[in-house]
Amino acid sequence: MSNGATNHGAGGEPHQQASGDEQVLTTNHGVPVSDNQNSLKSGRRGPTLLEDFVLREKIFHFDHERIPERIVHARGSGAHGFFEATADISELSKAAVFKKGEKTEVFVRFSTVAGGAGSVDTPRDVRGFAVKFYTTEGNWDLVGNNIPVFFIQDAIKFPDLVHAVKMEADRAYPQAGSAHDTFWDWASLMPESTHMLMWAMSDRTLPRSFRMMEGFGVHTFKLVNADGHASFVKLHWKPRLGLQSTIWDEALKLQAADNDYQRRDLWEAIDTGAFPQWDLGIQVFDQAFAEAQPYDVLDATKLIPEEDVPVRIVGTLTLNRNPDNFFAETEQVAFLPTNIVPGIDFTNDPLLQGRLFSYLDTQNSRLGTTNFHQIPINAPRCPFGNFQRDGKMQTQVPKGRANYEPNSLAAHGEEGGPRESRDRGFRTVTAPSGSDEQGEKLRVRAELFADHYSQARLFYRSQTPAEQAHIASSFVFELSKVGLLDQVPPRMVANLRNVDEDLARRVADGLGIDLPEKAPAAREPVDLPSSGALSIHKNMKETLDGRAVGILFAEGSDASTLDSLVAAVEAEGGKAVLVSPKVNGAPLSDGSKRKADGQLAGTPSQLFDAVAVVVSEDGCAALLKEAAAVQFVMDAFGHLKAIGASAEAQPLLDKAGVQKDEGVTTPDGSFVSAAKRRFYDREPAIRMLA
């Protein structure tokens, strides 16, 4: 069960080598593999080559592991709309979709990544943000996420990433979450994932709504004008409602309150005419800028700070129509990165290059089988072994949970699986095969890809203290779920020391472990200028537009106060939702009866962005005996929301443990002002953060 020797390539990627008589990693047809970390390229930064049968077989098999739902991004929500170009960028691109004034029909699908189609809306997870433009020149699919970077630098590692983060192979849990052994085992062995981990452990993976999150194309693309001149471009979606996230505890309770919270939020916003909007922004730069950076712009684990290249707004996306049939539209829509139009082009980003020939096969063959090599006439007559798994008509029964690499399972007494072999593995001839081909065919990474920590440090240090506490606490929670692999948490903390010493100490202290030695960095990180654009808290809009305010009332509540509060919330663009112990409402102080929008027991405060409590003395006395009322106020306070309460409600606030601060007000104009934001300064007093 030896792990063999581990060597590192020019990009800092780990190569676990077979030694002696250990099992050698092979293709499904028994051909030994020499390098399982890098796809075959024409030159160090050249395009990925179609002759790379190792990459093609690995991705081909992976694409068919789940039928019929998507392997990743299985749980999705979609909507129709249009994109309107608002700026003339003909000097950059000849694409018709960017002609000023042009309106293009679109279909957008938002999704989680790790969970299955039957999972929930609110786990800590990356969100997919895929847009299909039905342009006059053909379909353009911008298939991105709500985070501008990714875990890996080369598409050949995508199956390993997803295998590690999905349900563990031998037990089929946990669902829709990364807080478990195999993901953190993999991540701790893949330093290139560190920058993405900062984002994943931040509040970016707990969005308040699809309507309040950014979208990114992730990769560097090219814009091409009518003269054939090309510029590099990064693509951004900026929400008109601003950025907002939930609190981790709130997200857990949202799951209990409504498994379809974000799906419902999107549907109802469109159904009521509150059409979500995003501005499309571009960061454009040339080769000279690219070569001057301390990172490689074709590295998907890197972003370009907006302070270095400002985002230029070129159009607006509006979603104005819900699907007529979920299966026919949202489930069957097929996004392909290869769907491109004149005026837009690809780069040699090795992650993008792999996606370009993966998606078509995925979408075209969701009911097919990848296991044709197990049919006797096709089966190799020599031993073979790899980490490909499952699929239709699978006849083998792999044991254990080693279905990804690198892994350290052997060091913990488990079977670690086969390893690549430089000596026995197939090697491609590096010399050019034609006079028009430039450079060598190589399985390598550019040396700048070896910097795995500088931008992770940039991201962490660009956050507010509250966001940094959330990141540290997220690492503590997730790593605390690592079970028998006791080497993993110290190894991850050792990596974090390259990001920020204070972060590493906080995580180690939260886990109750000694601070380990700093992990050697393949390339020493550098300090980069802080970027305010990377922080959710620094970009939140103080507004009630698109937000919901829950107003708890009971028998005898003051009618004038209730009416004034509803009017004030709606005047600011918010949605006032009346909540009462009985859904048919209660008689008010003026003798009128007010119907509630939701029953207290089924309408918890985590459904709202702020809450108010308008009750009489008798009404408060009754609510003191109602656990749901106490929890309603307690959760709102714990989730850092504004609370507007009448003087008669003070006993309820006292019982819920609410302490007076600037976010606890009277139910008048001061509450409406406070309701536009969260009160993160409150958090250290109510929960222990790392």
Residue 318 has pLDDT above 50, yes or no: yes
Residue 476 has pLDDT above 70, yes or no: yes
List pLDDT tens digits, range 165-205. Answer: 999 988 988 999 999 999 999 999 999 999 999 999 999 99
Residues paired with residue 104 on neighbouring β-strands, in sequence order: 83
Measured from the Cβ of residue 400, the count of other Cβ atoms closer than 10 Å reads: 12
pLDDT the model gives residue 421? 80
Mean of pLDDT over the chain: 91
CA distance 197 to 606: 26
pLDDT the model gives residue 131? 95
Output the six-digit token pair for 276: 């979500």
pLDDT the model gives residue 366? 57
Output the six-digit token pair for 548: 């919901």
Alpha helices in 421-496 (DSSP H): 454-461, 465-480, 488-496
CATH number of 77-374: 2.40.180.10
Contact 586, 553 (CB under 8 A): yes
Which DSSP string corresponds to 585-626?
Answer: -EE-TTS-EE--SEEGGG--GGGSSEEEEE--HHHHHHHTT-
Identity of the highest mean pLDDT range in 57-61, 146-150, 369-373, 428-432: 146-150
List pLDDT tens digits, range 87-111. Answer: 999 999 999 999 999 999 999 999 9
Residue 377 has pLDDT above 90, yes or no: no
Residues paired with residue 395 on neighbouring β-strands, in sequence order: none
Residue 642 has pLDDT above 70, yes or no: yes
Tokens 């405060």 belong to 605
pLDDT the model gives residue 502? 97
Residue 491 has pLDDT above 90, yes or no: yes
What does the pLDDT average to over 497-515?
98
Measured from the Cβ of residue 287, the count of other Cβ atoms closer than 10 Å reads: 11
What does the pLDDT average to over 363-376?
57
Contacts 24+ apart (CB under 8 A), 363-372: 363/334, 363/335, 363/336, 365/63, 365/64, 366/64, 366/67, 366/68, 367/67, 367/68, 367/392, 368/64, 368/392, 369/64, 369/393, 370/60, 370/61, 370/63, 370/64, 370/65, 371/395
CA distance 218 to 210: 18
Residue 682 has pLDDT above 90, yes or no: yes
145 is catalytic: yes
CATH number of 1-65: 4.10.91.20
Parts of the chain belonging to CATH 1.20.1370.20: 455-537
User: How far, in whole angstroms, is CA 507 from its chain's centroid?
Assistant: 22
pLDDT the model gives residue 367? 41
Q: Which of 356, 477, 341, 402 is nearest to 47 (CA)?
A: 356
Query: 497-519 as b/e, with b when 16 or more CB fall inside 10 Å?
Result: bbbbeebbbbbbebbeeebbeeb
Strand runs labelled E in 302-402: 312-321, 344-345
Q: Does domain 455-537 have CATH number 1.20.58.340?
A: no
Parts of the chain belonging to CATH 4.10.91.20: 1-65
| Residues in Cβ contact with 160 at an 8 Å cutoff, skipping those fewer than 6 apart | 186, 387, 404, 405
Residues paired with residue 32 on neighbouring β-strands, in sequence order: 26
Share of the chain above pLDDT 70, in %: 93
Output the six-digit token pair for 485: 């692999």
Identity of the highest mean pLDDT range in 112-116, 153-157, 459-463: 459-463
Contact 102, 86 (CB under 8 A): no
List pLDDT tens digits, range 560-613. Answer: 999 999 999 999 999 999 999 998 989 999 999 999 999 999 999 999 999 999
User: Catalytic one among 64, 73, 180, 537?
Assistant: 73
Radius of gyration of the chain from its Cα atoms, rounded to whole angstroms? 27
Parts of the chain belonging to CATH 2.40.180.10: 77-374
What does the pLDDT average to over 218-232?
92
With bands split at pLDDT 50, 70 and 90, how would you rate the model's confidence at 378? very low
Tokens 């009971």 belong to 554
73 is catalytic: yes
pLDDT the model gives residue 312? 98
List the end-to-end C-alpha distance of the chain, in Å, as a whole number. 36
Identity of the highest mean pLDDT range in 27-41, 430-444, 531-545: 531-545
Candidate from 308-317, 326-335, 648-657 with smallest mean pLDDT: 326-335
| Length reported for the chain | 690
pLDDT the model gives residue 461? 97
List pLDDT tens digits, range 340-362. Answer: 888 998 888 999 999 988 876 76
Contact 186, 151 (CB under 8 A): no
List pLDDT tens digits, range 416-455. Answer: 999 888 776 755 545 554 555 677 778 888 899 999 999 9
Contact 165, 180 (CB under 8 A): no
Instruction: Please give the class, per CATH, of domain 544-686.
Output: alpha beta
Q: Which of 73, 58, 68 is nearest to 115 (CA)?
A: 73
Parts of the chain belonging to CATH 3.40.50.880: 544-686
pLDDT the model gives residue 375? 54
What does the pLDDT average to over 55-83?
81
More confident residue, 539 or 398: 539
Q: Which of 643, 18, 72 is nearest to 385 (CA)?
A: 18
pLDDT the model gives residue 368? 46
Contact 134, 214 (CB under 8 A): no
CA distance 386 to 404: 9
Query: 46-57 as b/e, with b when 16 or more CB fall inside 10 Å?
Result: bbbbeebebbbb
List pLDDT tens digits, range 135-176. Answer: 888 789 999 999 999 999 999 899 999 999 999 988 988 999
Candidate from 76-90, 145-159, 393-407 with smallest mean pLDDT: 393-407
Share of the chain above pLDDT 90, in %: 72
Q: What 3 state SS string does 131-185 have?
A: EEEEEECEEEEEEEECCCCCCCCCHHHHHHHHHHHCCCCCCCCCCCCCCCHHHHH
pLDDT the model gives residue 434? 54
Output the six-digit token pair for 225: 């004008």
Residue 372 has pLDDT above 60, yes or no: no
User: Catalytic one among 145, 371, 407, 495?
Assistant: 145
